[in-house]
Structure formats: C-alpha cells, structure tokens
Chain A
C-alpha cells in the first residue's frame, strides 16, 4: 500500500518524510520505557518537540481521537502519528513498536516467573506485587472518576456502569448499548447548549 500523500485529500500540513524503520524504532523506544501513565506526554515531547514530526495541534487532534475511539491510547496514538507520517505502513510500523517489544518483555517476565513458580516465595512475591498493582489500578480509576463526579448525569452514568459491570456482572455489551447513547447524547446536548 502506498502512503496517500498524493491522493485527493492530502494531510493539511506536510509532515516530513520519515522512514518506517525510524518510526518503528522511535515507538519501540517509547514502548519499552513506558511504565504506567505519562506515556502520552512523553510521546508528545518526542514527536512534537524533539523530532518535529507533527505540530502540537495535529498531535492533540490525534490524542483526542485516540482517547475517544475504542482501543488503548498507547497504541491508538502511535497509529495516528504513523499514519500521518507514512500512511497505513507508517501506522503499522508505529503500532508494532509499542506492541511487540513490550510483548517480548512480558513473555520473558512470564517465562521467568513460571521457572521460579515452584518456590513458595515466588507466589508470595507475586501476591504482594498484585496487591500493589491493584492499588495502581484503583488510583487510576479514582483519578478518572474525580473529573466525572462533579456533575449529576456523568456521576450517575459512572455509578451505573460500575455497579452493572463490577457488582452485578452484566454483559459489557449490554451495558454499553444501554448507557453509551444516553451519556454521549447528554454530552452532545451539553456541547450544543454552550
């Protein structure tokens, strides 16, 4: 597939010509050094300021899309950046960089864990690590929730989602089909009203 720089709707600003290998290595480096949050700001520093591949506006447009559409931000954003730089092949190169090198890490970690699993201490250490990881996850959830509970409707949607999925074990598809139209519809009404 060709990068679509010459098609009828070219990207607004002309991004620089970057090779697929450059894209893959840049995101491979970001992927293997990204632990927990702050990955997007690190990508912005790298892509916008250091390499000057995209303008800040283009980056932020991509970030909004990466967050709004399904999928992982850490993968969606590279897809968008790679796509702007070199079309679909660029997108694949960027996504591969953030998926495969960390994937290797995880496989190696797991193999190492499996090797040590006959020791009782390994199971204990993993339980302790799991308890801490649950704390990381709770902090992430609370941070995301903090912004939503200031208004009545988003707060109700949040609680309804949590109860239906977390407590009542309802099918996620059903919960999304029921709540997403209400929540997005309400958000649309709010945007239009302002």
Chain B
C-alpha cells in the first residue's frame, strides 16, 4: 500500500518538475488537481498549510511538495517527493548547461525565455486562485489578501511582516 503511494507520488511529481516553467509555484494548480482532488492523498487544509509554511520559511515554495509527501506517506514520502520535484529539472539543466553557454544570447534562447514568460505569469495567477479557493476564507481573508497584494506591489517591505500581520489580525478576531 505504502509502496503504491510512493510510486504514485513519483509518477505524478517527476513530470511536473519538467513542467515548472516560471518556478515552483506554477505547478501548484496541477499538484492540487492531482494530489488533493483526484487522489485525496492530502486534504485542502493541509495543502493550504503547506503553502503557508513554505512562504514563512526560507527557501523555494517547491519545498511545500516535500511536506505534501510527508503527509501522504511519512518520511519516505518526503524523500520521494523532494527528489521527484528537484531531480528531473536539475538533470535537464545540467544536460543543457554546455549547449546553452556555447550559444549564449542566441535567438532561440530569447524566444524560449520570453515565450514562456506569459505562460508562467498565467500559471502563477492560476495558482493563487487555487490556493485562495482551498483556503475558502471569508471576507476577512479576502480583505487581508488584497491589502497584502497592494502593500507588496507598492513597497519593498519584508513579506514576513505581512504574514505576521495576517496571523495576528486573525487571532485578534478571537478577542472581539
């Protein structure tokens, strides 16, 4: 049973590693669709928790995939998920490194870079929608999200302050 889950994690996550154009956040809608909706290996609440913790801790957001692996299949799940999310794209990069630097600045490189950019932007926005739906917070959550968006667009404040403020505000609602 557990071996099945580990294999499933590997088979689902490894291809996503190669599809993560524009960073780890881009694949979150697909991760959610497959692991939360289709297979139910991780709950909606766990998915939101993992995303939030990955934003609170240092390092790439993709590390939330490691946490999902942990929740789905314990420490072995964490190891498998971590390898599956980072190894394929890393191997591809190392295979491409030589060719890329030899043709540095070539037209096809600029085309790949600028051609994938709008797709990456669309995916990041889609991932935001996915997480917001998974949180399913009420008007206060929507208000906090929008205020943080505006502040982050307008200033260069450390994002950790925003997360602390959001957490603090929600805890205050307990008192009133």
Q: Which of A82-107 contact B (CB under 8 A)?
A: 83, 88, 91, 95, 98-99, 101-103, 105-107
Q: Which of B135-172 contact A (CB under 8 A)?
A: 135, 137, 140-142, 144-149, 151-153, 158-160, 162-171
Closest-by-CB residue of B relative to A65 is B100
B-side binding surface: helix, strand, loop or mixed? helix
A-side binding surface: helix, strand, loop or mixed? helix
> In the complex, which residues of chain B have a beta carbon less than 8 angstroms from the beta carbon of A98?
59-60
Complex CA–CA separation, A121 to B169 (angstroms)? 11
> In the complex, which residues of chain B have a beta carbon less than 8 angstroms from the beta carbon of A191?
107, 110-111, 114
- Report yes or no: A176 in contact with B21, Cβ–Cβ below 8 A: yes
Q: Does B130 contact A (CB under 8 A)?
A: yes
Sort A-B residue pairs by CB-CB distance and give the 6 closest, nearest first: A102-B59, A135-B148, A161-B122, A128-B170, A71-B89, A166-B126
20 new A-B contacts at CB < 8 Å, known A36-B160, A101-B58, A157-B119: A11-B101, A35-B58, A61-B100, A65-B97, A71-B90, A95-B86, A110-B53, A121-B174, A125-B171, A131-B148, A132-B165, A135-B162, A145-B121, A158-B118, A158-B122, A180-B115, A183-B115, A184-B112, A187-B111, A191-B110
A-B contacts, 26 listed (Cβ < 8 Å):
A9-B102, A35-B58, A70-B19, A70-B21, A73-B23, A76-B93, A80-B93, A98-B60, A106-B67, A128-B141, A128-B170, A130-B131, A134-B132, A137-B124, A144-B120, A147-B117, A158-B118, A165-B126, A169-B33, A172-B29, A173-B15, A184-B111, A184-B112, A188-B108, A188-B111, A188-B115
Binding site for A on B (CB under 8 A): 15-25, 27, 29-30, 33, 48-64, 66-67, 70, 78, 82, 86, 89-90, 92-94, 96-98, 100-102, 104-105, 107-132, 135, 137, 140-142, 144-149, 151-153, 158-160, 162-171, 173-174
